[in-house]
Structure 1
Amino acid sequence: MKILLMTYSVILNGLLGFVWIIFISKLLEVFNASGKSFWMGFFITIATLLFLDITTRVFESFDKDKRHPVRVAGYVSFGIVVLVSIVIIKTS
């Protein structure tokens, strides 16, 4: 059962990481065109906090411990998706 939850966590957080990257990229395009860097930082901060809230609400059903293996696997998959997107996709 733990393997199934871990797989679900990895897939869900990977998808959330991908959606976060798309959202942040669109915000950067909009605010770079208008030159409003303060608002860009403000909205990126708000968006990041909202995505953290989404992941916290999803993981309430797993376990309350933040170091639970299912949660850690999800956080790692989120980070891997974001890093791959920043390092590989943005540099090419």
Structure 2
Amino acid sequence: MKWLIMVYSVILNGLLGFVWIIFISKLLDLFNSSGKSIWMGLFIGVATLLFLDITTRVFESFDKDKRHPVRIAGYVSFGIVVLVSIFIIKSS
């Protein structure tokens, strides 16, 4: 059962990472055309806080411990999706 929860955590956080990348890239396109970098930074910061809040609310049902392996696997998958998107997909 624990492996099923861990797989669910990895898939869910990977999907949230992908949605976060799409949202941030759309914000970058929007604000780069208008040239308002202060607003862009503010919106990206707020969006990041909202995505972190979503992940913590989803995983409240798993375990309260922030060092639980299920949470760590989810956070790692979120980071991997973001890093792959930034370094591999955007550079090609």
Q: Give me the TM-score of the superposition, normalised by structure 1.
A: 0.99
Structure 2: stretches of 5+ with no match in the other structure: none
After TM superposition, where is structure 1 displaced by more than 2 Å over at least 4 residues in a row?
A: none
Task: After TM superposition, give the deviation of residue 77 of structure 1 in Å.
Answer: 0.2
Written as runs of structure 1 = structure 2, the 5 A alignment for 1:8-87 is: 8-87=8-87
AA aligned opposite 1:4 = L
CA separation in 2, counterparts of 1:42 and 1:79?
A: 21
Task: Structure 1: give runs of 5+ residues left out of the alignment.
Answer: none
Count of aligned residue pairs for this structure pair = 92
Deviation at 1:45, TM superposition (A): 0.3
CA distance in 2, matches of 1:68, 1:12: 16
In 2, the alpha carbon distance for the partners of 1:61 and 1:4 equals: 14
Using the aligned pairs only, state the percent identity.
86
Counterpart-to-counterpart distance in 2, 1:2 and 1:70: 8
The match for 2:3 is 3
Q: Displacement, 1:6? A: 0.0
Any idea what SS the aligned residue of 2:91 has?
A: coil
User: Quick one: distance in 2 between partners of 1:68 and 1:42?
Assistant: 31
Give distance in 1, aligned partners of 2:73 and 2:53: 17
**TM-score w.r.t. structure 2 length?**
0.99
1:29-62 deviation line (CA, Å, top 9, x unaligned) = 0000000000000000000000000000000000
